[in-house]
Amino acid sequence: MANVVGLVNAFICLLQIARGIRSRDSGPITLTFWSFSLVWLCVAPLAQLDAGRLPWPDSLMDEFYVEAQLITTVALLSFVAGKLIARRTAAQITSDGEGYEPRVESGPGEAGYGRMWIPFAMALVLALPVLAITGGVAGRFATRDDVGSAFAENGISAADGDTIQLFLLNRLPAAAALVAAYAASHYFFQYARQTGRGRGGPLVTLVLGISLVLLLANPFSSSRYIAFGAIAAVLLAAVRIDSAKRRLMFAFVCVVGLLFVYPLATWFKRESVQSSPFRGFPDMFFTVDYDGYQQLINSIYFVDESGHTFGKYVLSAGLFFIPRALWAGKANPASIDVADARGYSFQNLSLPIWSEFYIDFGIVGVIAGLIAFGFISGRLDLAYYLRPMSTSAHMCVLVAVCMFGFLRGPLGAQVIFMGSVVVIGYIVYQTRDRAVEWKNGVVDR
Choice between 9 and 348, residue whose per-residue pLDDT is larger: 9
pLDDT digits (tens, 9 = 90+) for 379-389: 999 999 888 88
> What per-residue confidence (pLDDT) applies to 170?
87
Tell me: the pLDDT tens digits for 140-179? Answer: 887 777 887 888 887 776 654 446 888 888 899 999 999 9
Domain membership flag for residue 390: no
Confidence of residue 396 (pLDDT cuts 50, 70, 90): very high
Same domain, 282 and 196: no
Residues belonging to the chain: 445
In sequence order, the 6+-apart residues with CB closer than 8 A to the CB of 338 are 295, 298, 299, 302, 349, 351, 355, 359
Domain housing 210: 113-241+399-440
Confidence at residue 289, expressed as pLDDT on a 0 to 100 scale: 85
Q: Based on the domain organization, do 97 and 211 belong to the same domain?
A: no
Does 325 or 311 have the greater pLDDT score?
Answer: 311
The answer to whether the CB of 414 falls within 8 A of the CB of 401 is no
CA–chain centroid gap for 440, Å, is: 32
Q: Which residues does 76 contact at the CB level (< 8 Å), separation at least 6?
A: 9, 12, 13, 16, 37, 370
* Alpha-carbon distances of 36 from 42, 210, 219, 358, rounded to whole Å: 9, 26, 20, 19
Question: How many domains in the chain?
Answer: 2
Domain assignment of residue 383, yes or no: no
Query: What pLDDT score does 108 carry?
Result: 45
Does residue 99 share a domain with residue 125? no
Q: Find the mean pLDDT for residues 41-62.
A: 86
pLDDT at 431: 67
pTM of the model: 0.88
- Indicate whether 436 pLDDT > 50: no
Predicted confidence band at 433 (pLDDT cuts at 50, 70, 90)? very low
Measured distance CA(418)–CA(414) in Å, rounded: 6
What's the first-to-final CA gap in the chain, in angstroms? 45
> Does residue 358 carry a pLDDT above 50?
yes
Question: Which range has the top average pLDDT, 130-134, 175-179, 202-206?
Answer: 175-179
56, burial (CB in 10 Å: exposed 0-12, middle 13-18, buried 19+): middle
The number of C-alpha atoms within 13 Å of 358 and in the hemisphere containing its C-beta is 28
pLDDT(103) > 70: no
Q: Are residues 225 and 139 in the same domain?
A: yes
Largest CA distance in the chain: 64
347: phi then psi, degrees, rounded to nearest 5: -115, -5
Q: What angle do CA 10, 11, 12 make, to 5 degrees?
A: 90
88 and 8 in a single domain? The answer is yes
As a whole number, mean pLDDT of residues 288-292 equals: 88
Residue 148 shares a structural domain with residue 219: yes
- pLDDT for 124: 96
- Is residue 417 situated within a structural domain? yes
Indicate if the pLDDT at residue 88 is higher than 80.
yes
Q: What is the pLDDT of residues 368-377, one digit of tens each?
A: 999 999 999 9
Q: Is residue 387 part of a domain?
A: no
Task: Verify that 236 and 117 share a domain, yes or no.
Answer: yes
| Domain presence at residue 381 | no
CA gap 160, 78 in Å, rounded: 39
- Residue 386 inside a domain? The answer is no
Confidence of residue 104 (pLDDT cuts 50, 70, 90): very low
As a whole number of angstroms, the distance between CA 322 and CA 164 comes to: 10
pLDDT of 197 > 80? The answer is no
pLDDT of 105 higher than 70:
no
Is pLDDT above 70 for 437? no
- What is the per-residue pLDDT across 214-262, written as a single tens digit (0 to 9) for each? 999 988 888 888 999 999 999 999 999 989 999 999 999 999 988 888 8
pLDDT at 223: 85
Same domain, 125 and 219: yes
Separation between Cα atoms, residue 428 and residue 391, nearest integer Å: 9
CA 182 to CA 178: how far, in whole Å?
6
CB under 8 Å to 376, separation ≥6 — which residues?
A: 82, 86
pLDDT at 195 over 60: yes
Q: Is the pLDDT of residue 97 over 50?
A: no
Specify the pLDDT at position 145.
76
Query: Are 361 and 403 part of one and the same domain?
Result: no
Residue 319, C-beta contacts closer than 8 angstroms, at least 6 positions apart: 327, 330
Q: Are 159 and 348 in contact (CB under 8 A)?
A: no
In the 3-class helix/strand/coil scheme, how is the chain assigned residue by residue?
CHHHHHHHHHHHHHHHHHHHHHCCCCCHHHHHHHHHHHHHHHHHHHHHHHHCCCCCCCCCCHHHHHHHHHHHHHHHHHHHHHHHHHHHHCCCCCCCCCCCCCCCCCCCCCCCHHHCHHHHHHHHHHHHHHHHHHCHHHHCCCCHHHHHHHHHHCCCCHHHCCHHHHHHHHHHHHHHHHHHHHHHHHHHHHHHHHHCCCCHHHHHHHHHHHHHHHHHCCCCCCCHHHHHHHHHHHHHHHCCCCCHHHHHHHHHHHHHHHHHHHHHHHHHCCHHHHHCCCCCCCHHHHCHHHCHHHHHHHHHHHHHHHCCCCCHHHHHHHCCCCCCCCCCCCCCCHHHHHHHHCCCCCCCCCCCHHHHHHHHHHHHHHHHHHHHHHHHHHHHHHHHHHCCCCHHHHHHHHHHCCHHHHHHCCHHHHHHHHHHHHHHHHHHHCCCCCHHHHHHCCCCC
pLDDT for residue 344: 83
Q: 288 and 164 in contact (C-beta within 8 Å)?
A: no
Give me the percent of the chain exceeding a pLDDT of 70. Answer: 84
Do 96 and 128 fall into the same domain?
no
- pLDDT given for residue 11 in this prediction: 97
73 and 119 assigned to the same domain:
no
Task: Give the pLDDT of residue 92.
Answer: 47
Asked if residue 247 belongs to a domain, the reply is: no
Residue 142 belongs to a domain: yes
Is residue 35 a contact partner of residue 251, using CB atoms and an 8 Å limit?
Answer: yes
Is there a single domain that holds both residue 290 and residue 187? no
Q: Taking all residues of the chain, what is their mean pLDDT, rounded to a whole number?
A: 84
